[in-house]
């Protein structure tokens, strides 16, 4: 199986009421963990790569690592640029083997967002690559993304049809209360997704795949492991898994998760360093971290996004 776009997986996800996980990977171990989880659960999967990760890996390493993953496991995988902030980075990824790109021009006004998105769509579609864009702003901080609104500026249902029609995008990231990073909500605050807005958007765009960013659930046991072994993470509240499953039963076809991988990987490495300070073999501590990420991702695929068993036959 070769790398695929998200087109067919989203069609299936929409029809069969599941979501495809888009997992942010940061290094080879997290990439391997996600790909193995997809292979073991027979899930379609999206590998989400930020511009900083491209810089960290190097584009050639990244391209060949993904090819190796597909060759080794025969998984149905899309390679996706997450939060492309410029037309240039989107074009660069289209030219370098990505099958899907996100242009995030949501910080601009509506007309400028449309203009920028449209230019990316024209370039990408000519080369068989699909495009995601964002309307509204998803709160939180992730890498260079810093949106100050605490609860996000929700996507206005009245804008979606015009935005999708004029840009020609393939999927739409919406703001309904999720947020990037570990600290999505104030301590004690109850996470709330605006399913009423989702319903309205869905009604206006029947059959159209929607995307949820900022969807880590921040498992408390994983957070506790970080802090048990010398970490100093603050109280962190994620998006409840039941809400993500509910969104998957709606038109949400793609759910983004990055923080959960980072917290899981970090916790295992901290534990190893703390409990085995005499060790210096790199593989001895990357192996349990990779395994823990794989198990966590598998659980999401099986129990939360319900994508297990839905890979292309
Ligand atoms: P989290 O920070 O909730 O993992 O979200 C990741 C994301 O949306 C990447 O675009």
Q: What is the pLDDT of residue 137?
A: 78
Over residues 209-253, the pLDDT tens digits come to 999 999 999 999 999 999 999 999 999 999 999 999 999 999 999
pTM assigned to the model: 0.96
pLDDT score at 136: 87
- Which residues have C-beta atoms less than 6 Å from ligand 1? 24, 82-83, 142, 180-181, 213-216, 256-260
Q: How confident is the model at residue 313 (pLDDT cuts 50, 70, 90)?
A: confident
pLDDT at 150 exceeding the cut of 60: no
Of 49-58, 87-96, 145-154, 231-240, the one with minimum mean pLDDT is 145-154
Give the model's pLDDT for residue 143. Answer: 44
pLDDT score recorded for residue 302: 98
Q: Judge whether 146 counts as a catalytic residue.
A: no
Mean pLDDT of 282-291: 98
Give the nearest ligand 1 atom to 179 CA: 3
Residue closest via CA to ligand 1's atom 10 equals 213
Taking CA atoms only, the protein residue closest to ligand 1 atom 3 is 214
| 60-85 residue pLDDT tens | 999 999 999 999 999 999 999 999 99
Which atom of ligand 1 is closest in space to residue 182's alpha carbon?
2
Return the pLDDT at 139. Answer: 66
Which atom of ligand 1 is nearest to 184's Cα? Answer: 3
Pocket test for ligand 1, best of 256, 260, 293, 296 (most atoms within 8 A of CB): 256
**SS3 letters for the chain?**
CCCCCCHHHHHHHHHHCCCEEEEECCCHHHHHHHHHHHHHHCCCEEEEECHHHHHHHCHHHHHHHHHHHHHHHCCCEEEEEEEECCHHHHHHHHCCCCCEEEECCCCCCHHHHHHHHHHHHHHHHHCCCEEEEEECECEEEECCEEECCCCCECCCHHHHHHHHHHHCCCEEEECCCCEECCCCCCCCCCCCCCHHHHHHHHHHCCCCCEEECCCCCCCHHHHHHHHHCCCCCCCCCCCCHHHHHHHHHCCEEEEEECHHHHHHHHHHHHHHHHHCCCCCCHHHHHHHHHHHHHHHHHHHHHHHCCCCCCCCC
Q: Which atom of ligand 1 is nearest to the CA of 259?
A: 4
How far does residue 297's CA lie from ligand 1's centre (Å)? 14
Mean pLDDT of the chain: 94
Instruction: Find the 279 Cα to ligand 1 centroid distance in Å.
Output: 33
Average pLDDT over residues 101-106: 97
Greater model confidence, 137 or 296: 296
Cα of 24 to ligand 1 centre, how many Å?
A: 7
119-142 per-position pLDDT tens digit? 999 999 999 999 999 998 776 644
Instruction: Express each pLDDT in 8-47 by its tens digit.
Output: 999 999 999 999 999 999 999 999 999 999 999 999 999 9
The alpha carbon of 172 and the centre of ligand 1 are apart by a number of angstroms equal to 15
Which of 26, 82, 158, 170 is the catalytic position?
82
Cα of 34 to ligand 1 centre, how many Å? Answer: 15
């Amino acid at each position: 199986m070769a790398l695929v776009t998200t087109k067919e997986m989203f069609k299936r996800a929409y029809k069969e009421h599941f979501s495809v996980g888009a997992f942010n990977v940061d290094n080879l171990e997290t990439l391997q963990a996600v790909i193995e989880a997809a292979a073991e659960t027979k899930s379609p999967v999206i590998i989400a790569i930020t511009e900083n990760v491209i810089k960290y890996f190097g584009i050639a390493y990244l391209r060949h690592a993904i090819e190796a993953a597909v060759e080794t496991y025969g998984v149905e995988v899309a390679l996706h640029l997450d939060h492309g902030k410029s037309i240039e980075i989107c074009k660069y990824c289209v030219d370098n083997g990505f099958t899907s790109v996100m242009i995030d021009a949501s910080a601009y006004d509506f007309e400028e967002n449309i203009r920028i998105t449209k230019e990316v769509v024209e370039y990408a579609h000519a080369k068989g690559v699909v495009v995601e864009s964002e309307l509204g702003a998803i709160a939180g901080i992730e890498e260079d993304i810093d949106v100050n609104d605490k609860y996000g500026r929700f996507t206005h249902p009245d804008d979606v049809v015009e935005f999708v029609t004029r840009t020609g995008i393939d999927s739409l990231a919406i703001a309904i209360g999720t947020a990037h990073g570990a600290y999505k909500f104030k301590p004690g605050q109850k996470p709330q997704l605006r399913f009423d807005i989702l319903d309205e958007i869905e009604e206006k765009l029947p059959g159209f795949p929607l995307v949820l960013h900022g969807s880590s659930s921040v498992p408390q046991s994983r957070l506790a492991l970080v802090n048990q072994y010398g970490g100093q993470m603050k109280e962190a509240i994620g998006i409840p898994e039941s809400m993500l499953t509910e969104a998957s039963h709606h038109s949400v076809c793609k759910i983004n998760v990055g923080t959960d991988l980072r917290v899981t990987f970090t916790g295992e490495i901290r534990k190893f360093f703390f409990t085995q300070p005499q060790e210096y073999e790199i593989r001895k501590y990357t192996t349990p971290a990779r395994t823990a990420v794989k198990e966590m991702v598998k659980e999401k695929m099986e129990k939360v996004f319900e994508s297990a068993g839905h890979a292309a036959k």
